[in-house]
Amino acid sequence: MKIKDSVALVTGANRGLGRAFAAALLAGGARKVYAAARDPGSVTLAGVTPVQLDVTNAQQAAALARELGDVSLLINNAGILRGTGLLEAGSVEAARARWKRTSSARCN
């Protein structure tokens, strides 16, 4: 993958690994880096273009994909973690349901 002159979208770019990925893309010569977060005001990295995206909202993701038609590189970093850990779910069924919700945000 060529980073120089690419147009990138990084989900979950407001902190942690997402922010680091966005910074690395800028340092690598990306022409433009869209930094997606549920709250675009939480994106503080200079040089990126903040955009709103809740990765659990498929309609919002599809609309953003249409809006950002120039994206040539995607780093789908965002994820969700709700409630307690899988081992504290109370039952195997509850743990499976929680795992399905969490993994579907990353894979769909």
pLDDT tens digits, residue range 62-90? 999 999 999 999 999 987 666 556 566 67
Residue range 46-56: average pLDDT?
94
State if pTM tops 0.75.
Answer: yes
Token pair for 3: 């980073």
In 3-state terms, the chain is what percent helix, strand and coil (to 5)? 40, 15, 45
Evaluated on CA atoms 26, 28, 33, 39, the torsion sign reads: negative
- CA distance linking residue 60 with residue 66, whole number of Å: 10
Q: pLDDT tens digits, residue range 11-42?
A: 999 999 999 999 999 999 999 999 999 999 99
pLDDT value, residue 97 = 78
CA angle 55–28–12, rounded 5-degree value: 15
pLDDT > 60? residue 94: yes
Task: Give me the domains of the chain, ranges plus CATH numbers.
Answer: 1-77 (3.40.50.720), 79-108 (no CATH)
For residues 15 and 108, the model is more confident at 15
pLDDT > 60? residue 107: no
Instruction: Walk across the sheet containing 73-75 and list its strands.
Output: 49-52, 32-37, 7-11, 73-75
